[in-house]
Amino acid sequence: MNKVIISVLGQDRPGIIAAVSKTLFEHQCNIEDVSQTILQTEFAGVFIASVPNHETEDSLLDGLCRALTPLGLSVLLRRMDDAPAWTAPDTEPFVITTIGPDRLGLVAGITGLLAGFGVNITNLKAVFRGGSDPMQNTMIYEVDIPVEIDQSRFRAALQERARDLGLDISLQHRNVFEAIHRV
């Protein structure tokens, strides 16, 4: 059994997941993980599936393209590596939230700093709708911060970067959100 990762991209409409999963079923592939999201009008889906030994990746990709191209969707298929490209250090989960006027380079500015400290983004939701309401321009990063880095230096650097970008930023341990909102 090999594992493949398939990403599907294109304008959202009913039937996309059905088309992908039908093709995978026809090729006797077992879906292990699926995640999909819709940004504005666009659909993006990622599938991890195990492929039987008698099935080739080319034939699977061919089947997917035949099913999805008529729907205006693009497909990317890659075999998954056995060994992970990166080993996660011990981390603690935090949430970074920014609010402030939209401008070029906000995401790049924050994520560049995170990368420099080895902070891994586990979930990101950024919405820039403009307008005078600052709550219309928010970025919410869920991140894993390595335990071994200098936390106060990271916090200071993040705040300085946010100041340069004109953003109001907060960095809070994830547990506080769970404590407040979840029973």
Enter the tokens of residue 101.
């006027």
Residue 76 or 176 with smaller CB distance to other proteins = 176
- The residue count of the chain comes to 183
Q: Provide the minimum distance between the beta carbon of 36 and other proteins in the complex, in angstroms, as a whole number.
A: 13
Binding site for other proteins (CB under 8 A): 95, 97, 99, 123, 125, 127, 135, 138, 140, 142, 155, 170-181
Least separation in angstroms between residue 105's CB and other proteins is 22
In the β-sheet with 42-51, what is the strand arrangement from edge to edge?
30-39, 42-51, 2-11, 74-79
Sequence letter at residue 122: T
Angle between helices 151-164 and 106-116 in degrees, nearest 10: 160
The least CB distance from residue 180 to other proteins, in Å, is 5
Taking the least distance from each CB to other proteins, the nearer of 83 and 179 is 179
Q: Hunting for tokens 């609010």 — which residue is that?
A: 99
Closer Cβ to other proteins, 2 or 138, answer by number: 138
